[in-house]
A and B are shown apart, each in its own frame.
Chain A
Amino acid sequence: MSSFKSTELLKSKVSKQKWVESILLVTTFALFIPVAAIFLILLIKGYPAINLNFIFAGPSNGMTEGGIFPAIVGTFWLIFLSLFFTCPLGILAALYLNEYARDNTFTRIINLAIINLAGVPSIVYSLFGLGAFVLFLKMGTSILSASLTLSVMNLPVIITSTRESLLAVPKSFREACWNVGASKWQTLWYVVLPNSLPGILTGVIFSVSRAAGETAAILFTGVAFYLPFLPESIFDQCMALSMHLYTISTQVVGVPESYTFGTALVLIGLVLIVNTLSIVVRSYYRSHRKW
C-alpha cells in the first residue's frame, strides 16, 4: 500500500518537473523571437537601400539622400586606432595578473578596478574622455580623443579574455621551458603567448564589435553629426556609423525609411560579421588545441 502511494507522489513530482521544464524551454526559445525578428526586419526593410552608391557616396541633401561612406570610414578609423592603444595595454595587464601578481590586497584592488571599468556607463566614459583627453590633454574633439575613450572602455574586455586564454595554457608548458634555461619573459614570449594567441584574438575581435557599435562614449569626444569631407589625420573629427544611425533616426526630419534601415543593416552586418569571425576563431582554436 505504501509503495503504491509513493509512486503516485513520484508521478505528480515528475509531471510537475515536466511542466517547469517546458516553461523554461519556452522562455529560452522566446529569446529567439526578438533576435530573429530584429534581423529579419532590418534585412527586409534595409536591403533595398543597399547598393554601391549607398556604400561609397557621402550623405547629401541634408542627410536625406546619398550614402554613408564617411560614416563607414570614420568607424574604421575609430576601431583601428582604439585597438592600437587597447591591445598592448590589455595584454600587458593580463600578463601581470596571470603570471606575476601574488594573491594580495594590491591584486584585489586591480581586479576590483577591472570589474568597475566593465560596469561604468558608456556616457560616463564620454564625460571622462571629454574631461581628460579633449580638455585636459588638449587633444580637442578628434579621432584621437574618441579612440582613447573607446580603448579605455574596451580595456576590461581585452584583459578578461586574454587572462582566460593565458590561464588555459598548462603549467607544464611553462615548467618545461624553465627547465631548458629560459627566463620568465622568454617563457612568456616563446611559449605562453603563442599558445594563447587564438584566445587573445577572440577577445580582440569581440572588442572590435563593441567599438563599432558604441555611440555614447564617442558622443562628445570626436564624432560629428555631419562632415562634408573625410578625416585626414587623427586630429580631425569624423563621422561614425552608430552616431549616423542615431542622427538620421531621431535628429533629422524627412529621412526616407529605407535609408535609415539601410544604415542600421550595414552597422548590424558589420558587428555580426566581426562576431561570427570571433566565434569561428574560438571554435577552431578549441578543436585544434595541442593539449
Chain B
Amino acid sequence: MMGKVIEEEKRQLSDYIKHYRPKQILRDRIMESIIFLGGLSAVIFTIGIFLFVIKEAWPFLSSRFSLMEFLTNIEWYPVSNVSVRYGAKALFVGTAAVTIGSMVLAIPVGIGTAIFISEFCGPKFKEVAKILIELLASIPSVVWGFIAVMVMNPFIINVLHEPVGLNVFNASIILALMSIPMIVSIGEDALRSVPDTYREAAESLGATRLEVVIRVIIPAAKNGLIAAILLGVGRAVGETMAVLMATGHSVAIPDSIFSPVRTLTATVAAEMGEAPKGSEHYQTLFTIGLSLLLITFSINFISDILLRKSWKRK
C-alpha cells in the first residue's frame, strides 16, 4: 500500500521534471524577453524623438542655418518674398518672458503650498488640498487657453484698461496656475522625504515649528525643492496650446508685461499647418522643436540629478 503511494508520487515528480518544468522555464524565458523589450521602449522612443526631429530639421541645419542668426536676430520672416530670415531671438525672449512671469507667481505660491501641506496642516485638510491640486492639474491646456481668451482677455481690457488683453501678463497667470500643481506635488515629496528624526532633533532643542521649517527642513530638502521649481519651469517652457491662445501672436521683444509676444511652442503650432512639407520653413520649425527638446531635456536631466541626491540621504 505504502509502496504504491510512493511510486505514484515518484511518477508525478518525474512527470513534473520531464514535462512541466521545461515548459515553465520556456514560458518564463519568453516572457522575460518580452518584458525586457517593454522596458526598452522608453529608451527607444526617447532616441526616436531626437532622431526624427533632427532628421526633419537636418537639410536646414546642414545648409543655411546659422546659430548666430537663429539666436540673435529678431527678424522672423519665414515666408517673405524678398528675403527670408529666420531670427528666433524674439521667440526665445517671448518664451523667457512668459516663463519668468509665471514663475514669479508660481514659485512662492507653489513652494508655500507645499510647505503648508507637508509641515503645517492636519491630515484632513491635506487630503482635500491634494484633491484640489489634482483638479487643477487635470484641466486641459486648451481649456486654460480658452479661459485666457474668454475670461482673462476681457478682464484685462475692461478692468486694467490695457489695450491688448492677450499678452505676457495673461499668459503668465495662466501658466503659473498650470505649473503650480507640479511644483506642489514634487516639492511636497521632497519635504516629506526629510526624515522625522531631523524634526524631532530640532524641536527637542526648543525650536518652534517655523524655525524647524526654515532652519532644518528647507535646507535639507533644498535639492528636491530646486528640482520642483525646475520641473515647473520645464512645464512652462513646453506648454503650447494655452500659450498659443493667451500671448497674442506678436513676434517682438516685449517692452512691458502687457505687451503681446510669441513663444517657441506657439510658433511651431501656429505655422506648421501652413508650411509645405519639406520646405525650408518646415525645417526651421523642426529646428525650433529641436531647441525646445534640448531645453527640456537639460532641465529634466539636472532635476533628475538633484532628486537623486535628495533621495540618497534618505
**Could you list which residues of chain A lie within 8 angstroms of chain B, going by C-beta atoms?**
10, 13-14, 16-17, 20-21, 23-25, 27-28, 30-32, 34-35, 38, 41-42, 88-89, 91-93, 95-97, 99-101, 109-128, 130-132, 135-136, 152, 155-156, 159, 183-186, 188, 209, 212-216, 219-220, 242-243, 245-246, 249-250, 257, 260-261, 264, 267-268, 271-272, 275, 279
Contacts and interface: CB of A to CB of B under 8 A. Distances in A.
Interface of B: 24-25, 27-28, 31-32, 34-43, 45-46, 48-49, 52-53, 55-56, 108-109, 112-113, 115-117, 120-121, 129, 131-136, 138-143, 145-147, 149-151, 177, 180, 208-211, 231, 234-235, 237-241, 245, 265, 268-269, 272-273, 277, 285-286, 289, 292-293, 296-297, 299-301, 304
A14 to B, nearest CB: 6
Contacts of A246: 142, 145-146, 241, 245
A92 B112 contact: no
Contacts of B299: 119
A41 B151 contact: yes
Given A24-B116, A28-B113, A159 B210 contact: no
27 contacts: A14-B208, A20-B210, A25-B120, A30-B109, A35-B135, A92-B38, A100-B32, A119-B235, A121-B296, A123-B289, A124-B49, A124-B289, A125-B49, A127-B52, A156-B42, A213-B139, A213-B140, A213-B142, A215-B141, A216-B241, A219-B269, A249-B146, A257-B150, A267-B143, A268-B140, A268-B143, A279-B131
Chain A binding surface, main DSSP class? helix
A121 B142 contact: no
A13 B211 contact: yes
A68 B133 CA distance: 30
Chain B binding surface, main DSSP class? helix
A267 B210 contact: no
A271 B24 contact: no
Given A96-B35, A119-B296, A127 B56 contact: yes
B132 A119 contact: no
A215 B45 CA distance: 20
A140 to B, nearest CB: 12
Contact of B28 (A130, A185, A268): A185
Contact of B38 (A89, A113, A135): A89
Given A31-B132, A128-B52, A242 B142 contact: yes
Nearest to B214: A20
A155 B45 contact: yes
B42 A93 contact: yes
B277 A96 contact: no
B135 A186 contact: no
B240 A121 contact: yes
A250 B43 contact: no
A261 B150 contact: yes
B139 A121 contact: no
A41 B144 CA distance: 13
Contact of B210 (A16, A41, A95, A125): A16
Contacts of B55: 131
A159 to B, nearest CB: 7
B121 to A, nearest CB: 8
B65 to A, nearest CB: 17
B229 to A, nearest CB: 14
Contacts of A89: 38, 41
Given A31-B180, A131-B52, A117 B42 contact: yes
B140 A214 contact: yes
Top 10 nearest A-B pairs by Cβ distance?
A: A213-B140, A92-B38, A121-B238, A96-B39, A131-B52, A24-B116, A17-B210, A216-B240, A113-B46, A123-B240
A215 B234 CA distance: 18
Nearest to A257: B150
Contacts of B49: 117, 120, 124-125, 128, 152
Contacts of A209: 138
A214 B55 CA distance: 25
Contacts of B45: 113, 117, 152, 155
B289 A275 contact: no
